[in-house]
Copies of this chain bind each other. A is one copy, B any other.
């Protein structure tokens, strides 16, 4: 039953490879980047040990690829999120809701959330991951700007970095010190508070 629809991929994108990478990503979050072993990954992915060395030259490559896969997924997700804001004009409340919901989506998988920060830390040591991280940051920024514009902010370009930093800081704190109803009770109010303080003119545009 294995590989029933398999087709040789010189490029190397099989189901199994993907399963290994996603298992690795999960484990990176759960155990920490360097605490992940080939055997851990194989067990988590439900494949024999040798599979992990078949698809990847080395453990470092496996882990790096896993983190890059995460970035690719994020870029896609953020692209869609940004598009959903483009050309829209709604109330700050609704935009805050949307942003909160988007963040909440990533919080539903705590391991991935932690893995994301493992990525950033490793990016301080690996130029390739640093480039990928910056790409991800840019995508977050783009989405944030679109959201701010949708909420009626005239100075979205200037405000986005502040929202970006605020959100990242809050997410990080929540990661260490989990709070019930965090998204609704902490993130959303903070975003709204910041928005109202920084973009007072937006409030007046709607009845």
Residues of A within 8 A of B (CB): 30-35, 110, 114, 117-118, 120-125, 130, 133-134, 137, 161-162, 164-170, 172-173, 175-177, 190, 193-194, 197-198
User: How far does the alpha carbon of A134 sit from the alpha carbon of B173 in the complex, in Å?
Assistant: 9
Q: How many copies does the complex hold?
A: 2
4 smallest CB-CB distances across A and B, nearest first, come from: A165-B169, A169-B169, A168-B169, A34-B34
- What is the interface of chain A mostly: helix, strand, loop, or mixed? helix
Q: A124 to B34, alpha carbons, bound, how many Å?
A: 16
Between-chain CB contacts (< 8 Å), 6 pairs: A30-B125, A32-B33, A32-B122, A162-B193, A165-B166, A165-B173
Q: Which of chain B's residues have a CB closer than 8 A to the CB of A122?
A: 32
Say yes or no: A173-B168 contact (C-beta < 8 A), given A34-B32, A118-B121. Answer: yes
- Expressed in whole angstroms, the minimum distance between the Cβ of A165 and any Cβ of chain B is 3
